[in-house]
Amino acid sequence: MMNFPLELRFKLIALNPQVFVTDAAGALICYVRQQAFKLKEAVTVFSDAAQTVPLYTIKADRVLDLSAQYHIADVAGAPLGTLQRRGLRSLWRAHYEIQHGGQPVFVVREENPWIKVVDGVLGEIPVLGLLSGYLFHPAYRVSRAAGDVPVLRAVKRPAFLEGRYTLEQTGALDDGEERLAVLSVLMMLLLERSRG
């Protein structure tokens, strides 16, 4: 079981986006270095920043990602589940399903889409873009598909020259659910950051 809250730090000044995930004690849980300029999204999650021990892979099933599925597997190739953007529903407010065995287990929804819009617009203005990371904080809620019971919440935190999110546990999860949900949120944040 993970030691929540987790902190996800996205390095902004890098050719390839990098994510460091640490637990409440500051220990590195995993590291991701996303490949730039890939047509079909594929991410490898490592246990260390030197990228010596791969843990998981996350691969898109298609190039166009309006309703793409992202297959999450361990390093041996055993499937853990999938993350799927809910197509047109995600254009305004981020909406994803986390599935296991083809069945929805969790739903990820953006809490307030206006915050992401303002954060994205101000982030593109040269001087104001440096301050937008301190002013606007998009949040995402992960709930069980059955019963809409919240289990995780990801919130953008104030940061300078990096993106920083806190992932808090708000409900009970077993070890397998926890791993699938955290990896799905990690991929969802990579996708949402690329959307603006």
**Using one digit for the tens of pLDDT, what is the confidence trace for 59-68?**
998 876 667 8
Q: What is the CA radius of gyration of the chain?
A: 16
Tens digits of pLDDT across the chain (196 residues): 899 999 999 886 666 778 999 999 999 999 998 776 666 788 999 999 999 999 999 999 887 666 789 999 999 999 999 999 876 555 557 889 999 999 999 999 998 877 766 666 766 776 666 666 566 678 999 999 998 899 999 998 887 767 899 999 999 999 999 999 999 999 999 888 765 4
Q: 6-195 — its CATH code?
A: 2.40.160.200
Contact 69/84 with Cβ under 8 angstroms?
yes
Name the pTM for this structure.
0.87
Domain coordinates of the chain in residue numbers? 6-195
Q: Give the pair of three-digit tokens for residue 24.
A: 């409440």
What amino acid is encoded at 156 in this protein? K
The pLDDT of residue 166: 97
| CA-based max dimension of the chain | 47
The pLDDT of residue 48: 96
Per the listing, tokens 């069945």 go with: 103
The pLDDT of residue 46: 97
Query: What phi and psi, each to the nearest 5 degrees, are found at residue 194?
Result: -75, -25
The pLDDT of residue 196: 47
